[in-house]
Amino acid sequence: MGETKDVREAVQAELDFDPLVNSANIGVSNIMGEVALGGTVPSYPQYLEATAAARRVAGVRRVHNYLEVLLPPGGERDDPALTTAANNALAADVTVPDGVEAMSRDGNVRLTGTVGFARQRTAAVAAVTGLAGVRKVKNSIQVRGDADPADVTVQVQGALDRNALVPDDSDVEVGTDASTVTLTGHVRTWAEHDAAVGAAWMGIGVQEVRDHLTVTG
């Protein structure tokens, strides 16, 4: 019971401490490192940051984000205006290639198109995440190109070996089937987890990363 209470209180304290999160309407529960966030936040970036804050806490193995984005009065935008703003943001971002498009429905922005690298998908999401009126972003962008599984495995394993956050004695293993990378093994923290997953997404031709890593806490 003490451990459960400590993790929950630590996550709540981290949310309260984080200047990018308004934690007034966020509730936290914890069962053996499985942390659930419930309630409301006033923007989509705060929705994302709440997960990031919880992951920073020692003992957190997984975060379930059930928060609802409840935009403040005057914070909503009609779908045509938000669609235009999102497409303008994509066009203005030099890291997002041509052909990526956005469409809004009830403040939920869906991204479509085709890119050459998975990191460009991430850049597209980042370009629209902070726009006023966004409740959520769905990334339906596809990654084109065929990948040689052997080459991808070597690329990703090399990136993990170079990464300062992944220890030399890590048991993280990389497996590649067609354009899908599967990560298995154990990591100590969410920072280490994110470093491993991020390295996998950087492989040329990678279209999917299956995250089977276990965070030991």
- Domain hosting 98: range is 79-143
Residues 112 and 133 in one domain: yes
Residues 128 and 153 in one domain: no
Average pLDDT over every residue of 143-162: 82
Q: What is the pLDDT of residues 104-116, one digit of tens each?
A: 999 999 999 999 8
Instruction: Give the 3-state DSSP-derived string for the chain, with helices as H, strands as E and coil as C.
Output: CHHHHHHHHHHHHHHHHCCCCCHHHEEEEEECCEEEEEEEECCHHHHHHHHHHHHCCCCCCEEEECCEECCCCCCCCCHHHHHHHHHHHHHHCCCCCCCCEEEEECCEEEEECEECCHHHHHHHHHHHHCCCCCCEEEECCEECCCCCHHHHHHHHHHHHHHCCCCCCCCCCEEEEECCEEEEEEEECCHHHHHHHHHHHHCCCCCCEEEEEEEECC
Higher model confidence: residue 185 or residue 145?
185
With a cut of 80, say whether residue 32 has pLDDT above it: yes
Model confidence at 203, pLDDT cuts 50, 70, 90, reads confident
Nearest CA-CA partner of 93 in 127, 139, 120: 127
pLDDT in the model for residue 171: 92
Domain contains 74: no
Higher model confidence: residue 66 or residue 201?
66
Residues 65 and 6 in one domain: yes
From 88-92, 93-97, 189-193, the region with the lowest mean pLDDT: 189-193
Location of structure tokens 């990031």: 52
Average pLDDT, the chain: 91
C-alpha torsion angle, residues 144, 119, 113, 49 (rounded to 10): 150
With a cut of 50, say whether residue 11 has pLDDT above it: yes
pLDDT in the model for residue 25: 97
What are 24's two structure tokens? 């007034």
pLDDT in the model for residue 4: 60
- Strand pairing partners for 143? 115
Model confidence at 98, pLDDT cuts 50, 70, 90, reads very high
Nearest CA-CA partner of 77 in 111, 43, 38: 43
With a cut of 70, say whether residue 3 has pLDDT above it: no
- CATH number, domain at 63? 3.30.1340.30
- Looking at the structure of the chain, the number of domains it has is 3
Residues 48 and 90 in one domain: no
Residues 91 and 134 in one domain: yes
